[in-house]
Amino acid sequence: MEDQQCIITNSYTSPVGELILGSWGDSLCLCDWRYRDMREAIDRRISNGLNAEFKEGDSEVIRATIYQLDAYFSKELHHFTIPLVLVGTDFQKLVWNELLTIPHGQTISYHELSRRLGDLGAIRAVASANGANAISLLVPCHRVIGSDGSLVGYAGGIRAKQKLLELEGMSEQLSMF
């Protein structure tokens, strides 16, 4: 199988947990927590959506992603510039594209995210799409919090979410409950 038809994967050990990186062609399609719920379902969705198989290896996209992740965790990078390919339903992509508009160091609630998408009744669907995000950190689902400011739901775990928000300067506003 040619590399273009493969999703090239490699791992990245971040200060808050291990990530699996995946590139497809010239884009990143995966930056997700190795040990998370839905790991198999997300991998299957990406593989089926791109009609490609996973193959461990290295690529320019993975190297560039590692470079930018290192800079992010060193507080030297606030905006990722890696090309992304989002694999999901139209609604999921709509949610993920809205997540991309949340600036570094800021959070919004699921309620606000639903409002921005024009449907306050879609909070559960928005939360579900947020949970299905396969490109953590670059598509910043960690910046979505409960309406009361609590840290709720994150594929990497609540502690990882807390650490990421602290890294972005949000420590004073955080509530674990």
3 state SS for 128-164: HHHHCCCECCCCCHHHEECCCCECCCCCCCHHHHHHH
End position of a domain, from candidates 74, 101, 130: 74
pLDDT at 10 over 80: yes
Q: How confident is the model at residue 38 (pLDDT cuts 50, 70, 90)?
A: confident
pLDDT at 176 over 60: no
Average per-residue pLDDT for the chain:
92
Number of domains present in the structure of the chain: 2
Q: Is there a single domain that holds both residue 123 and residue 59?
A: no
Q: Which residues are catalytic?
A: 141
Containing domain of residue 106, as a range?
Answer: 90-175
Round to whole Å and give the CA distance between 69 and 63. 10
Enumerate residues 6+ apart whose C-beta is below 8 A from 82: 27, 28, 61, 64, 65, 68, 138
In the prediction, which pLDDT does 173 show?
A: 54
In the prediction, which pLDDT does 177 show?
A: 42
Q: Is there a single domain that holds both residue 162 and residue 100?
A: yes
In the prediction, which pLDDT does 175 show?
A: 52
What CATH number is associated with residue 125?
1.10.10.10
Q: Is there a single domain that holds both residue 34 and residue 97?
A: no
pLDDT at 90 over 70: yes
**Which of 137, 139, 108 lies closest to 123, judged by CA?**
108
In the prediction, which pLDDT does 14 show?
A: 96
Q: How confident is the model at residue 60 (pLDDT cuts 50, 70, 90)?
A: very high
- Element at 110 (helix H, strand E): helix 110-116
pLDDT at 113 over 70: yes
Average pLDDT over residues 33-37: 89
Distance, C-alpha 171 to centroid of its chain: 20
Q: Is there a single domain that holds both residue 38 and residue 103?
A: no
Strands (E), 47-147: 53-56, 108-109, 144-145
